[in-house]
Every structure is written in structure tokens, then in C-alpha cells.
Amino acid sequence: MILLISEDLMMSSTVSAAVREHEGTFRFVKSIQRAQVKLEGLDCQLLLVDLQAGELDWDALPELLASVPRAIAYAQHVNVDVLRRGSGLGFEKVLTRGQFFAGAAEIVATVFE
């Protein structure tokens, strides 16, 4: 399963389409608390986090990251402080939103290799 924490329906649609190509499972939530509920009893291979999600609980993020094998985050390139803050949390990668959007299909494909 691939889980996306975001409020961006366009990004959700992009990731969902990439996951469907591989006949995988995709879940989309708006908060870490909802992510924790979705993860109960499920095998999450990749967590994707929009660091600009309004309901993002930065204090709970490290614990969530510790519960998944891989995690990638993204934020708009102009939000340098947010990107830096995310970089210090242990994500596999922290990308700009444009980099993530352009590479979403490739990122998802790595889960199914």
C-alpha cells in the first residue's frame, strides 16, 4: 500500500493513477492521525507526505516515519524553511512539489519493482 498525507486532490489523483498502473493499493488522508488509523493492520510500503498539509502534526511525524519502511516528502520550492525542516526528520527524500509531481510515477514504480 502507498499512503499519501495531503489536502491536494490533484496530487492525490496523480499518485492514485500511478498506483493503479501497478494494480497496487492507495490511500489518501489529510492528517497524521488519520494515517495512523489507515496503517493499522496494513502493510505500507511507501508513505508520501505533503509538508504543507494544513493538518500536519510535525510533533507526531517522527513516530509515523519510524513505522514505515520508506517515506518521501515534498513542499513548494518557495517554502525553503519547510523543506529544511522536513530534511531533518529522516525522510528518504525531500523534494520540491514540482520534482515530486514530475517524478510521481517513477517514485511509485520503485515500490513494485
pTM reported for the whole predicted model:
0.95
Per-residue confidence in pLDDT tens, the chain, 113 aa: 999 999 999 999 999 999 999 999 999 999 999 999 888 888 999 999 999 998 899 999 999 999 999 999 999 999 999 999 999 999 999 999 999 999 999 999 999 98
Q: Which CATH class is domain 2-111?
A: alpha beta
Which residue type sits at 110? Answer: T
Q: What are the domain boundaries of the chain?
A: 2-111
| E strand spans, the chain | 2-5, 26-29, 46-50, 71-75, 93-96
